[in-house]
Structure 1
């Protein structure tokens, strides 16, 4: 059973679709790295997973 799981995550800022159907799960003992260029949605994804968005 995953410790963290998110399915079909979408985030919009007005008309701008920032996150489009993101799916991922993290099992106990796994390490997940989220990397990408500035403005690619990394912080937004983490904020959505933490229910801050």
Structure 2
């Protein structure tokens, strides 16, 4: 059986985004995005190929 890992997540903010918008020409792809990621926290961005995950 695989060993479980304990993640240490702190209260320290590593990434904070407020009211982010992204346009490609006239196409509004991200609307007013808020995101906070604390140090040690992990997130996943999922979507089909070509959907703009790396944007």
TM-score by length of 2: 0.67
| Structure 1: segments with no counterpart, 5+ residues | 45-53
Give the drift of 1:29.
1.1
Aligned Cα root-mean-square deviation (Å): 1.3
After TM superposition, which residue ranges in structure 1, 4 or more long, deviate above 6 angstroms?
none
Give the drift of 1:38.
2.8
| Structure 2: segments with no counterpart, 5+ residues | 1-11
What is the CA–CA distance in structure 2 between the aligned matches of 1:39 and 1:19, rounded to whole Å? 15
Larger radius of gyration: 2
More helix per residue: 1
Where 2:54 maps in the other structure, the secondary structure is helix
Aligned residues: 44
More strand per residue: 2
TM-score by length of 1: 0.68
Give the drift of 1:19.
0.8
